[in-house]
A = this chain, B = another copy of it.
């Protein structure tokens, strides 16, 4: 390697280091920033050249050049639940393939979330943030925006940022129309009102009323049990619904976890599924097939991967092909739903 004269040394740029080391610009950059994807021998050669010419990587310059940290922050509640864990796994896979690191911010409850938006621990540590399936609004939104980085919402609609989600109204209609087609008219709804939910509860709730309306069935508020998220709550809701004098012949639960609770209550009451009562959920949780639960499948892994791809487009400086991506859902019929008993059908 020819030793350049003094003025040249002062002006040495990344491109010069790359040329002197006989590698591409990207490889030189990765080698100097200790990023993976560079053979060890190559890395050593680049570092030797950089040292020889006293070249120093400037974090500020790197930041200005676009990809300063090579890290993406992942803001995720309820990591212990299947939906969130699956989402994160899929996002991580796509980002890792692009040699980006994932900084995890587990915000389990409202207090964690408040603290995150107050302290913004991700500040200057990430190039982008993916918010997994919870709504960010009001002051939190302003704080998130103040990070000055790209944001994508995975598993939920978002007015401000690009997002990936499912159509919750359509999912709810699939579940409800299935019950109505089987002949059910007296249908209970177990409605989750947890604000942390990945889904828009309003979409799944609106589907209930819309389906009844189309079928000409009047809405009966006694048939709706509004509860916080969780299987135990689903079980209690089912107790209430099955204690009604004119009890429902079918149950539409906002999620499979709620439905699992409903199934337990039915079992404990000695009710046969689906002869005495049909139950349908939403999600296709991995346990749904083990519980023989009819449900509406949403593609979780695919949503996570799509959100990560969207983020890659943004980081590369191009707008993603779609700023809003809605995945479709499908009905999966199993043994928990069937026609109502003849006497139940006749009563009406």
Contacts and interface: CB of A to CB of B under 8 A. Distances in A.
A88 B108 contact: no
A287 B125 CA distance: 37
Contacts of A163: none
A102 B75 CA distance: 12
A96 B79 contact: no
Contact of A106 (B93, B108, B120, B123): B93
Q: Point out which of A84, A89, A125, A232 has the most chain B C-beta atoms below 10 A from its C-beta.
A: A89
Interface in A318-345: none
A80 B79 contact: no
Interface in A118-136: 119-121, 123-125
Interface residues on A, range: 35 or more
Contacts of A291: 260, 264, 291
A123 B80 CA distance: 28
Contacts of A219: none
A15 interface: no
A167 interface: no
Contacts of A85: 79-82, 84-85
A261 interface: yes
A232 B261 CA distance: 21
Nearest to A108: B89
A183 interface: no
Interface in A72-106: 74, 79-82, 84-86, 88-89, 92-93, 96, 99, 101-106
Contact of A79 (B89, B99, B125, B260): B89
Interface string A55-82: 0000000000000000100100001111
Contacts of A86: 79-80
A106 B79 contact: no
A183 to B, nearest CB: 24
Contacts of A286: 80, 231
Interface string A255-299: 000001101100110000000000000000011011110000000
Interface string A218-254: 0000000000000110010000000000000000000
A26 interface: no
A207 B235 CA distance: 34
A235 B287 CA distance: 12
A37 interface: yes
A104 B90 CA distance: 12
A57 B66 CA distance: 22
A34 B260 contact: no
16 contacts: A36-B123, A74-B104, A79-B86, A81-B85, A82-B85, A89-B108, A92-B105, A93-B108, A103-B103, A231-B286, A231-B287, A231-B290, A235-B290, A260-B291, A264-B292, A268-B292
Interface of A: 34, 36-37, 71, 74, 79-82, 84-86, 88-89, 92-93, 96, 99, 101-106, 108, 112, 119-121, 123-125, 231-232, 235, 260-261, 263-264, 267-268, 286-287, 289-292
Top 4 closest pairs, chain A to chain B, by CB: A85-B85, A80-B86, A92-B106, A80-B85
